[in-house]
Amino acid sequence: MTRVLVSGGTGYVGSFLVQHFLDCGHEVTVAARRVPPQGMFRGVAGFRPLVLENPKDPSLFEGMDWFVHAALDHLPEKYRGGEGSDPEGFRRRNLDGSVVLFELARQCGVGKVVFLSSRAVYGTQAPGMVLTEETPPRPDTLYGAVKLAAEQALLDMAGPSFCPLVLRVTGVYGTAPGGRDKWAALIGDFLAGRRIEPRAATEVHGRDVAGAAAMLLGDDIPAGVFNVSDMVVDRREVLAVAHASGPDLALPERADAAGLNVMSTEKLRGLGWKPGGRALLEASVRSLCGSLPAPERG
């Protein structure tokens, strides 16, 4: 049985990882500020306290085979702009703290580390340009710059007994363990009759992010960077599912997605990764709609 430490395992994306590893039969330990709520996961996960401000305790990695670093110290519900009024503190916690964790993991004999980075490392690129892992990063936010610097620090540690792997993840959707779903507020506003602004973005289900991480932690995967994305999703498409079983409301206009920078995932798909696509999107939105309380209409 493989022993996996997941930092940020009580967070939105991290909780998908924890549940997937548990479902795969691994021994999973959550590293976070707080113990996971009772019943958050199907199965039993261990717990070790972690604060990114000063993570210097090597016992965090005692007995661990793999480390998946999904923790991010940021303002609630914000990644870009998550530094608020404290950019230096944000950098110190999320860059310096991460580098310390990577070094501790290597010193403690952890064989593989997966770091959840972000599409934000690419920053602003030419409209419509497809982003590959070889596209030169141009982060234009502190969040993207911190993620890129942490990537580089980790990859520089590669050695015969230490394999660093980076997942550049796009927007993540889906109902996470514990019930959080980033589209709950959007669908609630729509069903309540509020106006929804058009928007389209690239998305991937949290289950598929977890599947990618688990794949990279398998045998014979070399150190490197991998894009993780599934498809372009328009808000109109999400809300059309809610509309089908809800009141007769006007859907938002379709957004202009021609200039979006879609990430190529050929490298990851070449290893056998296959995301859920439209079928998973529609099933997830239908399930979410069924769990939402009846809207209050004005």
What does the pLDDT profile of the chain (298 residues) look like in tens digits? 799 999 999 999 999 999 999 999 999 999 999 999 999 999 999 999 999 988 888 899 999 999 999 999 866 665 566 567 789 999 999 999 999 999 999 999 999 999 999 999 999 999 999 999 999 999 999 999 999 999 999 999 999 999 999 999 999 999 999 999 999 999 999 988 899 999 999 999 999 999 999 999 887 899 999 999 999 999 999 999 887 766 678 899 999 999 999 999 999 999 999 999 999 999 999 999 888 876 655 5
Question: Per the domain annotation, does 199 fall within a domain?
Answer: no
- Residues 6 or more apart whose Cβ sits within 8 Å of residue 119: 131, 168, 169, 170, 171, 202, 227, 229, 263
Question: Per the domain annotation, does 72 fall within a domain?
Answer: yes
Question: Can you say how many angstroms the Cα of residue 33 is from the centroid of all Cα atoms in its chain?
Answer: 18
Question: Per the domain annotation, does 54 fall within a domain?
Answer: yes
Question: Per the domain annotation, does 250 fall within a domain?
Answer: no
Q: Which of 179, 196, 177 is nearest to 242 (CA)?
A: 196
Cα–Cα distance for residue pair 158/160, rounded to 1 Å:
7
Neighbours of 292 (CB within 10 A): 16
pLDDT tens figures, 52-105: 988 888 899 999 999 999 999 866 665 566 567 789 999 999 999 999 999 999
Question: Per the domain annotation, does 251 fall within a domain?
Answer: no
**123: domain CATH number?**
3.40.50.720
pLDDT value of residue 54: 80
pLDDT value of residue 69: 98
Question: Per the domain annotation, does 178 fall within a domain?
Answer: no
Cα–Cα distance for residue pair 115/150, rounded to 1 Å:
9
pLDDT value of residue 247: 64
Measured at the CA of 101, the angle between CA 95 and CA 104, to 5 degrees, comes to: 140
User: Could you give the number of structural domains in the chain?
Assistant: 1
pLDDT tens figures, 176-199: 999 999 999 999 999 888 999 999
pLDDT value of residue 23: 97
Domain range enclosing 7: 3-173+204-229
Measured at the CA of 209, the angle between CA 226 and CA 90, to 5 degrees, comes to: 80
pLDDT value of residue 143: 94
- Residues 6 or more apart whose Cβ sits within 8 Å of residue 122: 131, 135, 137, 138, 139, 144, 168, 261, 263
Q: Which helix (H) or strand (E) holds 185?
A: helix 184-191
Question: Per the domain annotation, does 10 fall within a domain?
Answer: yes
Question: Per the domain annotation, does 182 fall within a domain?
Answer: no
pTM for the whole structure: 0.94
